[in-house]
Amino acid sequence: MISIRRLTLALVLSLTLVLGAGLPAQAATKLRISHNAGPGQPITEGIEHLAKIVGERTDGRVEIEIFPNNILGNDLTVRDMLVEGTVDMQSVGNGFLANWTGAMQIVCVYYAYNDEAEMHAVHTGKDFGQKYFHEPFLKERGVRILDMWPQSPRHLISKRPVRSQADMKGLKLRTPVGIPVYDDLWGRLGVMPMALALEDAFTGMQQGVCDAVEMPLDFMRSYRFAEVAKYLTLTHHLLYDQLLLINENSFNKLSDGDKKILTDAVAETSKLVNDKRLALDAKIMEEFKAMGVEVIELSPETVAEFQQIIEPVFEDRAKDLWTPQIAADFKAAIKNYREANAQ
Protein backbone atom coordinates (compact mmCIF):
# COMPACT_ATOMS: atom_id res chain seq x y z
CA MET A 1 0.00 0.00 0.00
CA ILE A 2 1.31 3.38 -0.99
CA SER A 3 1.91 5.58 2.03
CA ILE A 4 0.21 8.98 2.35
CA ARG A 5 3.66 10.62 2.41
CA ARG A 6 4.83 9.02 -0.86
CA LEU A 7 1.53 9.82 -2.54
CA THR A 8 1.73 13.43 -1.44
CA LEU A 9 5.33 13.73 -2.73
CA ALA A 10 4.33 12.24 -6.09
CA LEU A 11 1.48 14.73 -6.40
CA VAL A 12 3.75 17.67 -5.54
CA LEU A 13 6.35 16.61 -8.13
CA SER A 14 3.68 16.11 -10.78
CA LEU A 15 2.18 19.52 -10.07
CA THR A 16 5.63 21.13 -10.25
CA LEU A 17 6.26 19.58 -13.66
CA VAL A 18 2.89 20.67 -14.98
CA LEU A 19 3.24 24.24 -13.73
CA GLY A 20 6.87 24.43 -14.80
CA ALA A 21 6.04 23.32 -18.32
CA GLY A 22 3.83 26.36 -18.71
CA LEU A 23 6.50 28.88 -17.62
CA PRO A 24 8.99 30.37 -20.05
CA ALA A 25 12.64 29.58 -19.42
CA GLN A 26 14.62 32.40 -17.84
CA ALA A 27 16.08 34.54 -20.62
CA ALA A 28 19.85 34.54 -20.90
CA THR A 29 21.74 37.74 -20.20
CA LYS A 30 23.22 38.75 -23.55
CA LEU A 31 26.54 40.55 -23.70
CA ARG A 32 27.28 42.05 -27.12
CA ILE A 33 31.01 42.33 -27.82
CA SER A 34 32.63 44.19 -30.71
CA HIS A 35 36.22 43.80 -31.86
CA ASN A 36 38.40 44.81 -34.79
CA ALA A 37 40.07 41.51 -35.67
CA GLY A 38 39.34 39.25 -38.63
CA PRO A 39 39.02 35.48 -39.13
CA GLY A 40 41.93 33.41 -37.86
CA GLN A 41 43.45 36.15 -35.70
CA PRO A 42 44.27 35.27 -32.09
CA ILE A 43 41.89 37.93 -30.77
CA THR A 44 39.04 36.49 -32.84
CA GLU A 45 39.73 32.93 -31.73
CA GLY A 46 40.17 34.07 -28.14
CA ILE A 47 36.84 35.87 -28.01
CA GLU A 48 35.10 32.91 -29.64
CA HIS A 49 36.64 30.67 -26.98
CA LEU A 50 35.58 33.10 -24.24
CA ALA A 51 31.98 33.12 -25.48
CA LYS A 52 31.92 29.31 -25.60
CA ILE A 53 33.24 28.65 -22.12
CA VAL A 54 31.20 31.41 -20.47
CA GLY A 55 28.03 29.98 -22.05
CA GLU A 56 28.92 26.47 -20.89
CA ARG A 57 29.98 27.39 -17.37
CA THR A 58 26.91 29.55 -16.72
CA ASP A 59 24.62 26.85 -18.15
CA GLY A 60 23.45 29.33 -20.75
CA ARG A 61 22.64 32.12 -18.29
CA VAL A 62 25.19 34.39 -19.98
CA GLU A 63 25.42 34.54 -23.76
CA ILE A 64 28.19 36.53 -25.47
CA GLU A 65 27.18 37.73 -28.93
CA ILE A 66 30.19 38.55 -31.12
CA PHE A 67 30.49 41.33 -33.72
CA PRO A 68 33.94 41.00 -35.38
CA ASN A 69 35.79 43.09 -37.97
CA ASN A 70 34.35 46.38 -36.68
CA ILE A 71 31.02 45.58 -38.34
CA LEU A 72 29.23 47.85 -35.85
CA GLY A 73 31.50 50.80 -36.64
CA ASN A 74 35.12 51.84 -36.25
CA ASP A 75 36.94 51.55 -32.94
CA LEU A 76 36.13 55.10 -31.82
CA THR A 77 32.45 54.76 -32.68
CA VAL A 78 32.16 51.48 -30.80
CA ARG A 79 34.10 52.91 -27.85
CA ASP A 80 31.39 55.58 -27.49
CA MET A 81 28.68 52.93 -27.90
CA LEU A 82 30.30 51.02 -25.04
CA VAL A 83 30.05 54.03 -22.73
CA GLU A 84 26.40 54.50 -23.73
CA GLY A 85 25.66 50.82 -23.20
CA THR A 86 24.62 50.22 -26.81
CA VAL A 87 27.26 47.49 -26.81
CA ASP A 88 28.29 45.71 -23.63
CA MET A 89 31.91 44.76 -24.32
CA GLN A 90 34.74 45.80 -26.60
CA SER A 91 38.20 44.52 -27.45
CA VAL A 92 40.29 47.48 -28.59
CA GLY A 93 43.91 48.66 -28.78
CA ASN A 94 44.88 51.06 -26.02
CA GLY A 95 45.56 53.91 -28.45
CA PHE A 96 41.85 54.27 -29.19
CA LEU A 97 41.29 55.33 -25.59
CA ALA A 98 43.81 58.13 -25.96
CA ASN A 99 41.36 61.00 -25.60
CA TRP A 100 40.10 59.59 -22.29
CA THR A 101 43.45 60.30 -20.65
CA GLY A 102 46.85 61.59 -21.67
CA ALA A 103 48.25 58.49 -20.00
CA MET A 104 46.91 56.43 -22.91
CA GLN A 105 48.75 58.73 -25.30
CA ILE A 106 52.08 58.45 -23.52
CA VAL A 107 52.05 54.63 -23.42
CA CYS A 108 51.88 54.76 -27.23
CA VAL A 109 55.28 56.47 -27.49
CA TYR A 110 57.53 54.26 -29.61
CA TYR A 111 60.41 52.31 -28.08
CA ALA A 112 59.33 53.19 -24.52
CA TYR A 113 59.57 49.61 -23.20
CA ASN A 114 62.30 47.00 -23.23
CA ASP A 115 59.89 44.06 -23.39
CA GLU A 116 56.28 42.96 -22.91
CA ALA A 117 56.72 42.08 -19.25
CA GLU A 118 57.83 45.63 -18.53
CA MET A 119 54.92 47.07 -20.51
CA HIS A 120 52.36 44.86 -18.77
CA ALA A 121 53.73 45.72 -15.33
CA VAL A 122 53.43 49.45 -16.02
CA HIS A 123 49.94 49.16 -17.52
CA THR A 124 48.53 47.11 -14.65
CA GLY A 125 50.59 48.39 -11.69
CA LYS A 126 49.21 50.63 -8.95
CA ASP A 127 51.58 53.53 -9.62
CA PHE A 128 50.53 54.05 -13.23
CA GLY A 129 47.99 51.67 -14.79
CA GLN A 130 45.64 51.52 -11.80
CA LYS A 131 45.99 55.24 -11.18
CA TYR A 132 45.40 56.43 -14.73
CA PHE A 133 43.44 53.62 -16.44
CA HIS A 134 41.58 51.12 -14.29
CA GLU A 135 40.20 53.40 -11.57
CA PRO A 136 39.34 56.50 -13.69
CA PHE A 137 37.75 54.48 -16.51
CA LEU A 138 35.42 52.81 -14.03
CA LYS A 139 34.62 55.99 -12.07
CA GLU A 140 34.40 58.50 -14.92
CA ARG A 141 33.30 56.39 -17.90
CA GLY A 142 31.48 53.49 -16.31
CA VAL A 143 33.83 51.08 -18.11
CA ARG A 144 35.64 48.22 -16.40
CA ILE A 145 38.92 46.84 -17.74
CA LEU A 146 38.53 43.06 -17.57
CA ASP A 147 42.01 42.38 -18.90
CA MET A 148 44.86 43.66 -21.03
CA TRP A 149 46.09 41.19 -23.65
CA PRO A 150 49.62 41.94 -24.90
CA GLN A 151 49.71 42.16 -28.68
CA SER A 152 52.50 41.42 -31.09
CA PRO A 153 54.82 44.35 -31.80
CA ARG A 154 53.80 46.81 -34.46
CA HIS A 155 55.91 46.74 -37.64
CA LEU A 156 55.92 48.54 -40.97
CA ILE A 157 54.90 47.07 -44.35
CA SER A 158 55.40 49.30 -47.38
CA LYS A 159 55.58 49.58 -51.14
CA ARG A 160 59.21 50.67 -50.99
CA PRO A 161 62.04 49.45 -48.76
CA VAL A 162 62.65 51.18 -45.42
CA ARG A 163 66.05 50.48 -43.93
CA SER A 164 66.93 53.81 -42.34
CA GLN A 165 65.48 57.08 -41.18
CA ALA A 166 66.36 58.58 -44.57
CA ASP A 167 64.04 56.03 -46.22
CA MET A 168 61.19 57.27 -44.02
CA LYS A 169 61.19 60.73 -45.54
CA GLY A 170 58.10 61.41 -47.62
CA LEU A 171 56.61 57.96 -46.98
CA LYS A 172 52.80 58.21 -46.95
CA LEU A 173 51.88 56.07 -43.96
CA ARG A 174 48.38 55.12 -42.87
CA THR A 175 47.91 55.83 -39.18
CA PRO A 176 44.87 54.98 -37.02
CA VAL A 177 42.20 57.65 -36.70
CA GLY A 178 42.02 59.47 -33.38
CA ILE A 179 45.52 58.86 -31.95
CA PRO A 180 47.39 62.18 -32.24
CA VAL A 181 50.62 60.91 -30.73
CA TYR A 182 51.03 58.44 -33.60
CA ASP A 183 50.98 61.25 -36.16
CA ASP A 184 53.43 63.28 -34.10
CA LEU A 185 55.91 60.41 -33.74
CA TRP A 186 55.87 59.44 -37.40
CA GLY A 187 56.17 63.08 -38.39
CA ARG A 188 59.36 63.36 -36.34
CA LEU A 189 60.74 60.42 -38.30
CA GLY A 190 60.03 62.19 -41.60
CA VAL A 191 56.88 60.29 -42.53
CA MET A 192 53.71 61.85 -43.97
CA PRO A 193 50.96 60.42 -41.67
CA MET A 194 47.61 59.71 -43.33
CA ALA A 195 44.82 59.00 -40.83
CA LEU A 196 42.58 56.25 -42.22
CA ALA A 197 40.18 53.82 -40.59
CA LEU A 198 41.53 50.27 -40.64
CA GLU A 199 38.75 49.04 -42.92
CA ASP A 200 39.73 51.70 -45.52
CA ALA A 201 43.49 51.16 -45.42
CA PHE A 202 43.78 48.32 -47.99
CA THR A 203 41.84 50.29 -50.62
CA GLY A 204 43.88 53.36 -49.74
CA MET A 205 47.09 51.48 -50.44
CA GLN A 206 45.72 50.06 -53.69
CA GLN A 207 44.77 53.54 -54.88
CA GLY A 208 48.02 55.19 -53.80
CA VAL A 209 46.51 57.21 -50.96
CA CYS A 210 49.17 55.64 -48.73
CA ASP A 211 52.43 53.74 -49.32
CA ALA A 212 52.63 51.88 -46.03
CA VAL A 213 50.81 50.74 -42.92
CA GLU A 214 52.06 49.90 -39.43
CA MET A 215 50.46 47.22 -37.27
CA PRO A 216 51.08 43.72 -35.86
CA LEU A 217 51.71 40.89 -38.29
CA ASP A 218 48.34 39.20 -37.73
CA PHE A 219 46.50 42.38 -38.70
CA MET A 220 48.68 42.75 -41.81
CA ARG A 221 47.76 39.22 -42.78
CA SER A 222 44.07 39.49 -41.96
CA TYR A 223 43.71 42.69 -43.99
CA ARG A 224 45.86 41.28 -46.87
CA PHE A 225 48.45 44.07 -47.03
CA ALA A 226 51.17 41.72 -48.29
CA GLU A 227 49.25 41.52 -51.57
CA VAL A 228 50.05 45.17 -52.35
CA ALA A 229 53.17 45.92 -50.27
CA LYS A 230 56.31 43.82 -50.60
CA TYR A 231 58.67 45.25 -47.97
CA LEU A 232 58.24 44.31 -44.32
CA THR A 233 60.46 46.30 -41.95
CA LEU A 234 60.65 44.77 -38.47
CA THR A 235 60.65 48.06 -36.59
CA HIS A 236 59.29 46.68 -33.28
CA HIS A 237 58.34 50.30 -32.67
CA LEU A 238 55.42 49.75 -30.32
CA LEU A 239 54.54 47.19 -27.68
CA TYR A 240 50.92 47.59 -26.67
CA ASP A 241 47.83 45.94 -25.22
CA GLN A 242 44.46 44.96 -26.59
CA LEU A 243 42.07 45.90 -23.79
CA LEU A 244 39.01 43.82 -23.00
CA LEU A 245 36.39 46.24 -21.67
CA ILE A 246 32.87 45.88 -20.30
CA ASN A 247 30.22 48.47 -19.53
CA GLU A 248 29.83 48.48 -15.75
CA ASN A 249 26.02 48.45 -15.88
CA SER A 250 26.21 45.38 -18.11
CA PHE A 251 28.67 43.75 -15.72
CA ASN A 252 26.36 44.41 -12.79
CA LYS A 253 23.49 42.61 -14.53
CA LEU A 254 25.34 39.39 -13.76
CA SER A 255 25.09 37.56 -10.48
CA ASP A 256 28.22 37.47 -8.31
CA GLY A 257 28.74 33.87 -9.36
CA ASP A 258 28.49 34.66 -13.05
CA LYS A 259 30.80 37.67 -12.65
CA LYS A 260 33.44 35.31 -11.27
CA ILE A 261 32.87 32.84 -14.10
CA LEU A 262 33.35 35.66 -16.62
CA THR A 263 36.50 37.10 -15.03
CA ASP A 264 38.05 33.65 -14.57
CA ALA A 265 37.27 32.81 -18.21
CA VAL A 266 38.87 36.07 -19.35
CA ALA A 267 42.08 35.24 -17.46
CA GLU A 268 42.11 31.75 -18.99
CA THR A 269 41.53 33.16 -22.47
CA SER A 270 44.40 35.62 -22.08
CA LYS A 271 46.90 32.74 -22.02
CA LEU A 272 45.25 31.13 -25.04
CA VAL A 273 45.44 34.38 -27.05
CA ASN A 274 49.08 34.90 -26.10
CA ASP A 275 50.11 31.35 -27.06
CA LYS A 276 48.29 31.60 -30.38
CA ARG A 277 49.79 34.94 -31.38
CA LEU A 278 53.36 33.83 -30.65
CA ALA A 279 52.91 30.73 -32.80
CA LEU A 280 51.12 32.65 -35.53
CA ASP A 281 53.79 35.37 -35.91
CA ALA A 282 56.39 32.84 -37.03
CA LYS A 283 53.94 31.27 -39.47
CA ILE A 284 52.98 34.65 -40.96
CA MET A 285 56.61 35.57 -41.51
CA GLU A 286 57.09 32.46 -43.63
CA GLU A 287 53.84 33.10 -45.51
CA PHE A 288 54.93 36.64 -46.36
CA LYS A 289 58.31 35.45 -47.62
CA ALA A 290 56.56 32.91 -49.85
CA MET A 291 54.48 35.78 -51.27
CA GLY A 292 57.65 37.61 -52.28
CA VAL A 293 57.79 39.99 -49.33
CA GLU A 294 61.32 41.11 -48.39
CA VAL A 295 61.86 41.10 -44.63
CA ILE A 296 64.12 43.91 -43.42
CA GLU A 297 65.76 43.91 -39.99
CA LEU A 298 66.82 47.31 -38.66
CA SER A 299 70.32 47.67 -37.28
CA PRO A 300 70.73 48.55 -33.57
CA GLU A 301 72.23 51.86 -34.70
CA THR A 302 69.11 52.72 -36.69
CA VAL A 303 66.83 51.85 -33.78
CA ALA A 304 68.97 54.02 -31.48
CA GLU A 305 68.66 56.87 -33.99
CA PHE A 306 64.86 56.50 -33.98
CA GLN A 307 64.82 56.55 -30.18
CA GLN A 308 66.93 59.69 -30.08
CA ILE A 309 64.61 61.46 -32.52
CA ILE A 310 61.53 60.44 -30.52
CA GLU A 311 62.76 61.11 -26.96
CA PRO A 312 61.93 64.88 -26.91
CA VAL A 313 58.23 64.07 -27.36
CA PHE A 314 57.90 63.34 -23.63
CA GLU A 315 58.62 66.97 -22.77
CA ASP A 316 57.25 68.57 -25.94
CA ARG A 317 53.75 67.11 -25.67
CA ALA A 318 53.43 67.56 -21.91
CA LYS A 319 51.80 70.86 -22.88
CA ASP A 320 48.78 69.25 -24.55
CA LEU A 321 48.66 65.45 -24.99
CA TRP A 322 49.60 64.65 -21.39
CA THR A 323 50.64 66.49 -18.25
CA PRO A 324 54.13 66.79 -16.76
CA GLN A 325 52.85 64.66 -13.86
CA ILE A 326 51.76 61.87 -16.19
CA ALA A 327 55.16 61.96 -17.89
CA ALA A 328 56.97 61.86 -14.54
CA ASP A 329 54.82 58.98 -13.25
CA PHE A 330 55.32 57.05 -16.49
CA LYS A 331 59.09 57.39 -16.41
CA ALA A 332 59.12 56.51 -12.69
CA ALA A 333 57.03 53.36 -13.23
CA ILE A 334 59.45 52.14 -15.91
CA LYS A 335 62.48 53.01 -13.78
CA ASN A 336 61.04 51.25 -10.72
CA TYR A 337 60.29 48.11 -12.72
CA ARG A 338 63.79 47.99 -14.18
CA GLU A 339 65.41 48.48 -10.79
CA ALA A 340 63.23 45.79 -9.21
CA ASN A 341 64.02 43.33 -12.00
CA ALA A 342 67.69 44.11 -12.58
CA GLN A 343 69.80 41.00 -12.97
pLDDT greater than 50 at residue 7: no
- Nearest 5°: the CA angle 309, 231, 278 is 85
Split at pLDDT 50, 70, 90, the class of 16 is very low
Residue 141 shares a structural domain with residue 163: no
Residue 8 has pLDDT above 70, yes or no: no
Tell whether 18 is covered by a domain.
no
The reported pTM is 0.86
Q: Provide the domain count of the chain.
A: 2
Q: What angle do CA 131, 184, 79 make, to 5 degrees?
A: 50
Distance CA 82, CA 35 (A): 12
Looking at the structure, tell me whether residues 75 and 32 fall in a common domain.
yes
CATH code at position 264: 3.40.190.170
Q: Are strands 294-297 and 241-247 parallel, antiparallel or unpaired?
A: unpaired
Enumerate residues 6+ apart whose C-beta is below 8 A from 71: 34
Is there a domain that residue 21 lies in? no
Instruction: Give the Cα separation of 26 and 226 in Å (integer).
Output: 48
SS3 for 180-208 is HHHHHHHHHCCCEEEECCHHHHHHHHHCC
Angle between helical axes of 180-188 and 300-310 (0-180°, round to 10):
120
Same domain, 52 and 113: yes
Is residue 14 domain-resident?
no
Residues 246 and 231 in one domain: no
Q: Which structural domain, as residue segments, surrounds residue 309?
A: 154-239+291-340
Residues 99 and 230 in one domain: no
- 273 and 203 in a common domain: no
CA atoms within 13 A on the CB side of 202: 10
Look at 18 and 299; give whichever has higher pLDDT: 299
Q: Are residue 100 and residue 230 in the same domain, yes or no? A: no
Is there a domain that residue 97 lies in?
yes
Residue 60 shares a structural domain with residue 203: no
Q: What is the pLDDT of residues 209-263, one digit of tens each?
A: 999 999 999 999 999 999 999 999 999 999 999 999 999 999 999 999 999 999 9
70-96: string of b/e by CB count within 10 Å (b at 16+)?
A: bebbbbbebbebbbeeebbbbbbbbbb
Same domain, 109 and 215: no
The reply to whether 251 and 144 lie within a common domain is: yes
